[in-house]
Amino acid sequence: MKKLMIVLAFLILGVTQSNAQMLKFGVKAGANFASLEGDGVEGLDTYTSFHFGALLEVKVFENFSIQPELLYSSQGAKVNEENVKDINFNYITVPVLAKFYLISEKLSVEAGPQFSFLIDDNVGDQFESESFDFAAVGGLGFQFTENFFAQARYVAGLTDTTKDAEVKNRVIQVSLGYRF
C-alpha cells in the first residue's frame, strides 16, 4: 500500500509538472507607435502611446505555441494642425497568435488575427468611430530568461476605424513582459 501511494504521488507530480510546462501565464506592457492610413488622410503623424495586459501561452508542439492575449491598447494619430486634438482610440484587443520558435526557444516568429473592441475615443462630433477593428499581426519575440521576454510587432488594421471614411489603424508595438 505504501509503494502504491509513493508511485501515485510521483505520477501526480509528473502530470502537474508536464501541465505547468504546457501553459504559461504572463503579463506585458509597452509602447505603441500608431498611425492612421487611408483615403484622404493627410497631416497626420505617428502617435506614441501604450499598451498593457495579460497573455497565456499554450505549448502545442516542441517549437510551436498558441498565445492568446487580452490587452488595453491606446492608438490613433497625431494631428499637425493648431487647436486640433490628436486622434485617440482606446481598445480592448485580443490577439490570438501562432508562435514558431526558431532558436532553442529563445527567438520566435508570431503571427495571427487581432480582434479589437473600442471602449473610448476623443473624436466627438468630427466623425463616427467603428466599435470593432479586425487586424493582422506579425512580429518577433525574444526570451531573455525563462521568465523575461521582449516582443516587437506590426499590427495592420483590416477594417475601417470610422463609418465616414476608409481609414485603417497601423501600429508598431514594442513590449517587455514576464511569464510565471
Kindly report, residue by residue over 16-36, the tens digit of the pLDDT.
444 446 999 999 999 999 999
Q: What is the predicted pLDDT for the residue at 135?
A: 98
- pLDDT for 6: 52
Per-residue tens of pLDDT for the chain, all 180 residues: 455 445 444 444 444 444 446 999 999 999 999 999 987 777 789 999 999 999 999 999 989 999 999 999 999 999 887 777 888 999 999 999 999 999 778 999 999 999 999 999 988 777 788 999 999 999 999 999 999 999 999 999 999 998 888 999 999 999 999 999
Within-domain flag for 129: yes
Q: Rounded distance, CA 114 to CA 94, Å?
A: 5
Residue 43 in domain = yes
Residue 19, pLDDT score: 47
Q: What is the pLDDT at residue 21?
A: 65
Q: Return phi, psi of residue 18, to 5°.
A: -70, -35
CATH number of the domain bearing residue 137: 2.40.160.20
pLDDT number for residue 29: 98
Confidence at residue 9, expressed as pLDDT on a 0 to 100 scale: 45
Query: Hey, what's the cell of 86?
Result: 490628436
Nearest to 96 by CA among 68, 58, 57: 68
Which pLDDT score is estimated for 44?
86
End-to-end alpha-carbon separation of the chain, Å?
36
Q: Is residue 75 part of a domain?
A: yes
Q: 2 lies in a domain? A: no
Pick from 113, 145, 138, 139: which is nearest to 24 by CA? 145
Answer whether residue 11 is part of any domain.
no
Q: Total structural domains in the chain?
A: 1
Q: Which whole-number Å values give the CA distances from 44 to 76, 77, 85, 116, 137, in the listed order?
A: 10, 6, 11, 22, 22
* 4 lies in some domain: no
Q: Is residue 6 part of a domain?
A: no
Domain span holding position 105: 23-179
Burial class (CB in 10 A: 0-12, 13-18, 19+), 84: exposed
Specify whether the CB–CB gap between 26 and 57 falls below 8 A: yes
How far, in Å, CA of 53 to CA of 68, rounded?
11
Report the predicted TM-score, pTM, of the whole model to 2 decimal places: 0.83
pLDDT at 2: 54
In a domain, 17, yes or no: no
